[in-house]
Amino acid sequence: MFKIIRTIGAATRSIQTVSNETFKPLGLNNNLFIYLIRTVEQPGMFLGELADSLQIDRTTSFRTVQKLVKLGYLELKNDQQNLKIKRVFPTTKAKELYPQLHDYEQQSSDVLLKNLSTTERNQLAKLLDKLNI
């Protein structure tokens, strides 16, 4: 069964390599685009929360968010109740870009899954949902 983690590792690295190349023109190399997708879909998470939800180191995530703020994609807002936290929101620019990012994600998924039938895709999605991440 160890082959499972090898395969998903290889798939992830492979997907990231391609997406880096794809989004370089937008300055969104690395995993930048997953931050945007996540933030548009669930705006208002605080910094650490966002990092944890993406399974990315908090300090790495912190600096990436700074960069995305500088690029005009995200903005940070202080919380009224809790002075400690800063909440992350997408700008209009990010919201406008979102459909394109989502399309890419979809296409990327289609390529990865091209050898699987619809039934198999559903099966796979269901099984992955049960992973203990």
Partner DNA sequence: AATATATTATTGCAAATGCAATTAAATTAG
Partner DNA sequence: CTAATTTAATTGCATTTGCAATAATATATT
Interaction between residue 15 and a copy of itself (CB under 8 A)? yes
Q: Which tokens hold the place of 85?
A: 């936290």
**Comparing C-alpha atoms, which of 19, 95, 32, 17 is closest to residue 63?**
32
> In sequence order, what are the beta bridge partners of 87?
46, 77
The verdict on 77 binding DNA (CB under 7 A) reads no
CA distance 65 to 60: 9
Q: With contacts defined by CB under 7 A, name the span among 2-10, 62-70, 101-109, 122-130 that binds DNA.
A: 62-70
State the CB neighbour count (10 A cutoff) for residue 78.
10
Which does residue 60 touch among DNA, a copy of itself, none (CB within 5 to 8 A, set by kind)? Answer: DNA
Q: Which does 112 bind (CB under 5 to 8 A by kind): DNA, a copy of itself, none?
A: a copy of itself
**How near is the Cβ of 12 to DNA at its closest, in Å?**
11
